[in-house]
Amino acid sequence: MSTIQIIGAPQSNFVRVVRMACHEKGVGYDLEVARPHTPPVLAIAATGKMPVMRHGDVALCESRAICGYIDAAFPGPKLIPADPVAGALTEQWISLVTTHIDAILLRQYLIGYFFPGTPDGAPDRARIDAALPKIGPVFAMLEAELTKHPYLGGDHFTLADIFLFPLVNYLPRAPESAALMQASPHLQAWFDRIALRPSAVATVPPPLPGR
């Protein structure tokens, strides 16, 4: 069967999610570097969001759908546990990452540092300051969970951990989130543990454009 083709920018946390899922399953893939809203992405995703995937006649957008396909279509360790409770907890944390944690930490907070849109490229303090009251509770939620379990939702590494890891990778690069990481020892230990996995090592992103 044809090789999976992943299309998107390697700096994207969700592109890295899909790439890590492939590595965890032992699935080979080709990465076509493309920015959002460009023709290779729009050919599959009308929203212009990345990543998108081709595998033979299969074309998919949305990282959760792509990872679900990879997990179901190929042998190897299951990224979504078959056990009903463990599977539900994995899905719960994936949903929390994609709808809440990413929305605050990246789309509201980190973007003010990484893509400020200011005339001189200085951080967008208005955006950052508006997000600051929200980021502390997110760190507290993650620290509380990882105090109870070594991984999100339980004792075993799952797709939920893959979804969170690429985002946490960027948190030490901004001052407020770096301080919160230092004050969250269980979250830091979780990150350090996953950073040693071959899937994480193989997918370290290049620098962000212009940085």
Q: 4-79: which CATH topology?
A: Glutaredoxin (3.40.30)
- DSSP, collapsed to helix, strand or coil, labels residue 55 as strand
- Give pLDDT tens digits for 21-77: 999 999 999 999 999 999 999 999 999 999 999 999 999 999 999 999 999 999 999
Residues 140 and 131: beta-carbon distance below 8 Å = no
pTM of the model: 0.96
Cis peptide before 116 (omega within 30 of 0): no
Beta pairing, strands 52-55 & 4-7: antiparallel
Same fold, 4-79 and 84-200: no
Q: 84-200: which CATH topology?
A: Glutathione S-transferase Yfyf (Class Pi); Chain A, domain 2 (1.20.1050)
Residues 126-143 have a mean pLDDT of 97
